[in-house]
């Protein structure tokens, strides 16, 4: 994991340096105005120093403006030089710069969709970071104080990805495909604001790209949206990423909380709130997420929406995923920490799958990337709900949505006490 300074300190230190310089400039000006022992006229030197002082003030003001973009939800977004992002704290990335995006998979749809309407709150007024920088949501002392463990801040609890109904605090309603070699996946997911009743719980909807034996060697790449009061301090749905190479034990993290994911996009802040969201019996808003393996260099790339390539996970981070995935999983997950009775934390829209469009959460246009870097339908999709009386799932296929499913639920109810 990156050092604490990479997380807590403002990533650009130049404004502080300039502040120090400005404090020392005035005595320098006085010194330069005094009699020169050589008899040389010092007026030009003094003028030059004053000009430098004003220049430093202008630069500091500019940096303070571009490096701190405030969001209406209270987030502070720092614009960090691309080569100084946390990923480049990794020994194998030091001194490097972000790569250019590779060719998209064949069949990737670049046309506009509802996903293009959906933006992050910090960009409500069209803000973005300058070229050569990336937006990173600032981590605060309050974020760390909420964490159950400072050492594991930004990491999931050690566990295995579920494929059965074994009892656990993590509960799922998912569709998955396995039994072959996979080089990525794509899906569109509608975004909701499910109620999370306990700060130690979360509710998320995501895509997992998985490889390994489902023991301690499990490799995953994950992306989607989540509501996590402990991680973010509120109940807003947020775009997130995750990775691990040892079943969530010591490697990997959310977003930019460790050295790993390399961001290349200056308009998307991973961990920032998504707006707008879907409304029950109203208009639906979804995001399209694509993860694919670059056939040339082997890195795993991430795209959000119809054309925004976000960045990549370098292939050397992984063991099994350095080659390919052997499973892809789509769906919802919640954490139930209640000791007596089931949690009322919602999954998806908070309604069961049977209510359908406008009311239930969905994944649509489920596809996988094959060995030839082509998108093909995710056929033979298996559906699983750990606790179907609390959260369920049902799927189908049609021409408009391809392979799809509805999923979710309210948690605690008369059939899920």
Alpha-carbon distance of 217 to 318, in angstroms, equals 10
User: Which pLDDT tens digit goes with each residue over 290-333?
Assistant: 999 999 999 999 999 987 899 999 999 999 999 999 999 999 99
Q: With bands split at pLDDT 50, 70 and 90, how would you rate the model's confidence at 388?
A: very high
> What's the gap between Cα 83 and its chain centre?
18
Annotated active-site residue 230? The verdict is: no
Q: Which of 228, 164, 147 is nearest to 193 (CA)?
A: 228
Place of tokens 């202008």: 58
Alpha-carbon distance of 175 to 383, in angstroms, equals 4
**Domain extent listing, the chain:** 63-409
Alpha-carbon distance of 278 to 361, in angstroms, equals 9
Q: Are 173 and 384 in contact (CB under 8 A)?
A: yes
User: Which pLDDT tens digit goes with each residue over 84-129?
Assistant: 999 999 999 998 999 999 999 999 865 434 444 557 899 888 888 9
Catalytic residue among 72, 100, 201, 222: 222
Per-residue pLDDT at 113: 44
More confident residue, 281 or 32: 281
Burial 67-76 (b: 16+ CB within 10 A, else e): bebebebebb
Per-residue pLDDT at 111: 47
Tell me if the pTM is above 0.85: no
Per-residue pLDDT at 74: 81
Which tokens in the block code for residue 352?
């069961």
Per-residue pLDDT at 164: 43
Q: Which of 304, 272, 268 is nearest to 189 (CA)?
A: 304
User: Which pLDDT tens digit goes with each residue over 18-74?
Assistant: 232 233 333 333 333 444 445 555 566 677 778 777 766 665 554 454 445 666 678
Q: Are 120 and 344 in contact (CB under 8 A)?
A: no
Annotated active-site residue 333? The verdict is: yes
Q: With bands split at pLDDT 50, 70 and 90, how would you rate the model's confidence at 7?
A: very low
């Amino acid at each position: 994991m990156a050092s604490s300074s990479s997380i807590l300190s403002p990533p650009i230190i130049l404004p502080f340096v300039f502040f120090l310089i400005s404090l020392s400039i005035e005595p320098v000006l006085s010194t330069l105005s005094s009699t020169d022992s050589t008899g040389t006229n010092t007026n030009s030197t003094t003028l030059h120093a004053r000009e430098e002082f004003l220049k430093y003030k202008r630069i500091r003001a500019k940096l303070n403006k571009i490096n701190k973009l405030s969001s209406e939800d209270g987030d502070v977004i720092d614009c960090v030089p691309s080569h100084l992002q946390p990923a480049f704290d990794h020994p194998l990335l030091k001194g490097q710069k972000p790569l250019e995006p590779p060719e998209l998979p064949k069949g990737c749809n670049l046309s506009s969709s509802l996903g293009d309407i959906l933006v992050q709150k910090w960009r409500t007024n069209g803000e973005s970071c300058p070229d050569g920088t990336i937006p990173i949501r600032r981590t605060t002392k309050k974020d760390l104080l909420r964490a159950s463990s400072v050492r594991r801040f930004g990491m999931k609890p050690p566990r295995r990805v579920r494929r059965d109904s074994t009892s656990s605090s993590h509960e799922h309603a998912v569709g998955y495909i396995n039994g072959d070699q996979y080089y990525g996946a794509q899906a569109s997911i509608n975004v909701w604001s499910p109620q999370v009743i306990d700060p130690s719980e979360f509710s998320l909807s995501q895509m997992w790209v998985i490889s390994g034996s489902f023991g301690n060697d499990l490799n995953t790449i994950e992306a989607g949206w989540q509501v996590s009061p402990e991680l973010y301090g509120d109940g807003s749905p947020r775009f997130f990423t995750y990775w691990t190479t040892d079943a969530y034990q010591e490697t990997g993290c959310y977003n930019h909380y460790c050295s790993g994911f390399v961001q290349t996009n200056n308009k998307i802040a991973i961990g920032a709130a998504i707006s707008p969201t879907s409304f029950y019996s109203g208009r639906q808003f979804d995001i399209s997420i694509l993860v694919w393996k670059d056939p040339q260099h082997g890195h795993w790339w991430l795209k959000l929406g119809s054309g925004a390539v976000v960045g990549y996970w370098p292939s050397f981070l992984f063991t099994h995923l350095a080659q390919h995935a052997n499973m892809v999983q789509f769906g919802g997950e919640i954490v139930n920490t209640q000791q007596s009775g089931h949690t009322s934390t919602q999954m998806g829209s908070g309604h069961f799958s049977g209510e359908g469009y406008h009311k239930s959460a969905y994944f649509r246009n489920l596809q996988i990337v094959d060995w030839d870097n082509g998108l093909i339908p995710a056929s033979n999709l298996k559906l699983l709900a750990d606790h179907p009386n609390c959260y369920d799932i049902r799927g189908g296929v049609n021409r408009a949505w391809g392979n799809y499913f509805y999923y979710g639920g309210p948690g605690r109810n008369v059939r899920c006490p």
